[in-house]
Amino acid sequence: METGHVVRFASQQHPFLVETAPCLDLDCSCSITTLTLSELVPPGTPPRDRLTFTLRLCLKTGIEHDPPPRSLEVESLAREFLVRFPAERIGELAEEFDQARAIEERLRSLTLSSGRDELVTYSDVIDERGGVREGVTEHSRFFVFEGREFLVEDHYCVNPECDCREVHLEFWERVHEVHPKKRGVTIRQRLMTTFTLEGKPRETRFSRESASTTKRLLQAWLRRGGDHFRECRRRYELIKAVGARSFPRKPKPPAAVFTDMGAKFGNRAPLAIDSKPQVRRNDPCPCGSGLKFKRCCARRSAIAD
């Protein structure tokens, strides 16, 4: 039934993409992973005609936990999925669950050595091996477009003082080689674009696709973007927290020291200062009479008053 991240149902014309989200609350003792199944409909199909449903799977028992009310069609698909879901895949999900919890624990104490103004991928932060560029693909998002398989890697700004609220998405195509002498999978970089965390396109940084193909690809991504951007918002906050721990806020500059007394006290007029030298009572009188000041000009000044 399952091929990679895609499943097919006997009653449905189109395949379904399966995405997993383990419980990341470190204070929770559950072992529940939420599986979201989204119908891969042709381009141009209205979103309301795309079937999507979720399952909360307990990895210890392999049983759905607290199923919500569903239509008969969705309930039938959910039962078929659970009956045919391979037991070994539950084991794989359990390993992914433990890995996700370990990543969450790592993010609580991780510090970065890169520059504060650089973009980092979520894969680089949570995995020492790196991301798609280094051949590590399990942390990227799987995306099917017009029969082509893409891996989408998300980049974020780590500067804690920047409130950009953006995600930079890099699309890598997974190509299955069929040449007799060269078999396997090759990953090729195709496109990088910027979105707000609410899913609004900002700019396309580069693209190796035609303008029309780039537009169709991004439109297809946006049609399924609700869950993606919700996860991007979570990752943005995590990486900003790592950035705040790695790059503390710069200290404020010291208060300015006033060297200009006029600047410190305003433009008030200076006090008038008498430039005449002060004469003490017993000093010679400055008039040149030869008498002491108290017996000469000082006495005349007192009589005049």
pLDDT tens digits, one per residue of 206-242: 999 999 999 999 998 888 766 688 889 989 998 998 9
- For every one of its 305 residues, what pLDDT tens digit does the chain have, with 9 covering 90 and above? 333 478 899 889 899 988 888 998 888 999 999 999 988 888 777 767 788 999 999 999 989 999 999 999 999 999 999 998 888 888 989 998 998 888 888 877 888 887 888 899 998 888 888 889 888 888 888 888 998 999 999 999 999 999 999 999 999 998 887 665 655 778 899 999 999 999 899 999 999 999 999 999 999 888 876 668 888 998 999 899 899 988 887 666 666 655 555 555 555 555 454 555 677 777 788 777 777 777 777 766 655 55
Q: Are 133 and 155 in contact (CB under 8 A)?
A: no
Q: Give alpha helix (H) positions in the chain.
A: 72-84, 87-107, 122-126, 211-223, 225-246, 261-265, 297-304
Among 169, 269, 300, 160, which Cα is nearest to 224's? 169
Task: Give the DSSP letter of residue 292.
Answer: B
Structure tokens at 275: 């430039």
pLDDT of residue 249: 72
Among 32, 77, 86, which Cα is nearest to 51's? 77
pLDDT of residue 124: 86
Q: Give the integer Cα–Cα distance in Å for 125 and 13.
A: 39
Q: Give the integer Cα–Cα distance in Å for 99 and 56.
A: 18
Tell me the C-alpha to C-alpha distance, in Å, between residue 185 and each of 32, 167, 179, 182, 240.
Answer: 32, 27, 11, 9, 34
pLDDT of residue 69: 93
pLDDT of residue 190: 93
pLDDT of residue 1: 34
pLDDT of residue 3: 36
pLDDT of residue 285: 81
pLDDT of residue 2: 38
Q: Give the integer Cα–Cα distance in Å for 67 and 63.
A: 10
pTM: 0.57
Q: Give the integer Cα–Cα distance in Å for 62 and 280.
A: 108
Structure tokens at 107: 């993010």
pLDDT of residue 251: 67
Q: Are 297 and 280 in contact (CB under 8 A)?
A: no
pLDDT of residue 253: 67
Q: Give the integer Cα–Cα distance in Å for 173 and 183.
A: 16
pLDDT of residue 77: 94
Q: Give the integer Cα–Cα distance in Å for 301 and 163.
A: 77
Q: Give the integer Cα–Cα distance in Å for 31 and 100.
A: 11
pLDDT of residue 303: 53
pLDDT of residue 127: 84
Instruction: Tell me the CB-side half-sphere exposure of residue 163, using CA atoms within 13 A.
Output: 0
pLDDT of residue 208: 94
The amino acid present at 278, given as its one-letter code, is: Q
pLDDT of residue 87: 85
Among 114, 83, 105, which Cα is nearest to 9's? 83
pLDDT of residue 183: 59
Q: Give the integer Cα–Cα distance in Å for 94 and 90.
A: 6
Residue appearing with tokens 């017993």: 282
pLDDT of residue 66: 92
